[in-house]
Structure 1
Amino acid sequence: MSFSLNEVEAQAKKATRGAGYSWGMAEEAGRATAWLCAQGRDGVAVLAAVLDAAPDADHCSLAQGTRLCDRAKIAPSQNRVLHRVFQPLLLLPFVGFASRQIGQPLSITWEGGSAVTDGASLCILGRDPDAQADLAIAIHAGTFTAGTKFTRATPDSSAWDMLSQFAHRTYAPATEESRRLGAGDSQSNAL
């Protein structure tokens, strides 16, 4: 199935909130997931893996990414090394967001691969990072070739279903009064 990037962002935001993250983190997760999909990666599957595993904040790519953006302007010229980041692909959008903040492209390296982003586009060389990896982030000197941009996402169906399950946790439970006033699906109203 194909989804617009807006649909991906909304579903990712609801799912992240349903997994117990704050609304602020949920908004960041939605934006990051859609950004990955726009870069041709399955951001939905990456986010689903993070939400399902619920890694501690020291290794969670979502938590690490938001911290990176919060500190981007403090010391932009310093290299950063992050250890044992879980689902490091989810960190790439945040590196892109930080790149926009400082106005310079950033490079990310891991064992077997690297990436460069200016916030709008992404170029990955080598293989994608493992499910858990050490990453080094630095200012990129030079040019890079941007990858293809996508306007729709075709996520793995089981990952989309997992996000739907997490998102369902944010829905208010049905009550007799809400049904009487027309809430819910048409089958429950017909009963």
Structure 2
Amino acid sequence: MSFSLNEVEATAKRATRGAGYSWGQAEEASKAVRWLCAQGLDGAEVLARLLTLGLASELAAHRPRQVDGLWQGDGELCPLSAGPLLSDSAYLLKAAPVEMRDVVAPELLLPFAANAARVLKCWVSVEIDGTLAVTDGDHLAVHGVLPAAARRVTVSQGVAPETLRSRHSRAQPAPGDWDVLNRFAHRTYAPATEESRLLGAGAGLSDND
């Protein structure tokens, strides 16, 4: 399966909303997934895995309780809550690293670290349980295998890596992951009504031909 980044972004947005996140968070998620796919990472798989956890039903428990000091929640941290906060709090990295605990789908933090790098105009490193990723906002280097969940994530100002990942213009999600996203996306579609059918193309509810 091969899709344009525009297709992936649109599907990710509807899927995130269908999973119970706000439209604002869905917008953030869709751009994050697109950025990951552009870096050659499987953003669709990461989002599908996150949405199946059902964190949106009690999202307050999965966002950082504070930004001063250690970032942790009452439950596992959701990257769609911690990530935008990281972007908005990029200035904190000038003073000290940001440390997070118990993050699910931590790969989704990388696009938000990229936003912070653009704001600060520097390289930003994200260490995820020993795996190091470095970005300047547009490019990415990853040293190691990114885990599905992380006990510890440390975000700090970094240095330019020697090699960078190649950029991609299309995504190739696995059929199962794409199906998961589409199932969530379908929750945002309004069911057909008699009025909508009458307003649609064709003969409506009767056929006099």
For 2:86, the equivalent position in structure 1 comes to 68
- Asked if the contact 1:73/1:102 (under 8 Å) is kept, the reply is yes
Larger Rg: 2
Secondary structure class of the residue paired with 1:40: coil
For 1:29, the equivalent position in structure 2 comes to 29
Identity of aligned residues (%): 47
Flag the 1:130–1:176 CA change in 2: closer, same or farther, 3 A: closer
- Asked if the contact 1:112/1:129 (under 8 Å) is kept, the reply is no
String of CA shifts for 1:135-160, please: whole Å, max 9, x gaps: 11110134442111000000111111
Q: How does 1:16-95 map to 2 (within 5 A)?
A: 16-55=16-55, 56-57=62-63, 58=73, 59-95=77-113
| TM-score computed with the length of structure 1 as normaliser | 0.91
State the alpha-carbon separation in 1 of the partners of residues 31 and 160 from structure 2.
27
C-alpha RMSD of the superposition: 2.0
Flag the 1:110–1:159 CA change in 2: closer, same or farther, 3 A: same
For 1:171, the equivalent position in structure 2 comes to 189
Which structure 1 residue ranges, 4+ long, deviate > 6 Å from structure 2? 188-191
| Between 11-20 and 53-62, the greater mean CA deviation after superposition | 53-62
State the alpha-carbon separation in 2 of the partners of residues 25 and 189 from structure 1.
39
For 1:98, the equivalent position in structure 2 comes to 116
Tell me how far 1:131 sits from its aligned partner.
2.4
- Asked if the contact 1:110/1:136 (under 8 Å) is kept, the reply is yes
Flag the 1:113–1:74 CA change in 2: closer, same or farther, 3 A: closer
Tell me how far 1:189 sits from its aligned partner.
7.6
| TM-score computed with the length of structure 2 as normaliser | 0.83
Tell me how far 1:173 sits from its aligned partner.
1.3
- Asked if the contact 2:126/2:156 (under 8 Å) is kept, the reply is yes
| Between 74-83 and 92-101, the greater mean CA deviation after superposition | 74-83
Q: How does 1:104-123 map to 2 (within 5 A)?
A: 104-123=122-141
1:15 maps to a residue whose letter is A
Tell me how far 1:62 sits from its aligned partner.
1.3
String of CA shifts for 1:132-189, please: whole Å, max 9, x gaps: 3311111013444211100000011111111111111111110012112226xx8x98
| Between 49-58 and 64-73, the greater mean CA deviation after superposition | 49-58
- Asked if the contact 1:112/1:127 (under 8 Å) is kept, the reply is no
Tell me how far 1:127 sits from its aligned partner.
1.7
Structure 2 residues not aligned, in runs of 5+: 56-61, 64-72
1:100 maps to a residue whose letter is R
For 2:156, the equivalent position in structure 1 comes to 138
State the alpha-carbon separation in 2 of the partners of residues 190 and 123 from structure 1.
60
1:156 maps to a residue whose letter is A
- Asked if the contact 1:77/1:139 (under 8 Å) is kept, the reply is no
Secondary structure class of the residue paired with 1:29: helix
Secondary structure class of the residue paired with 2:133: strand
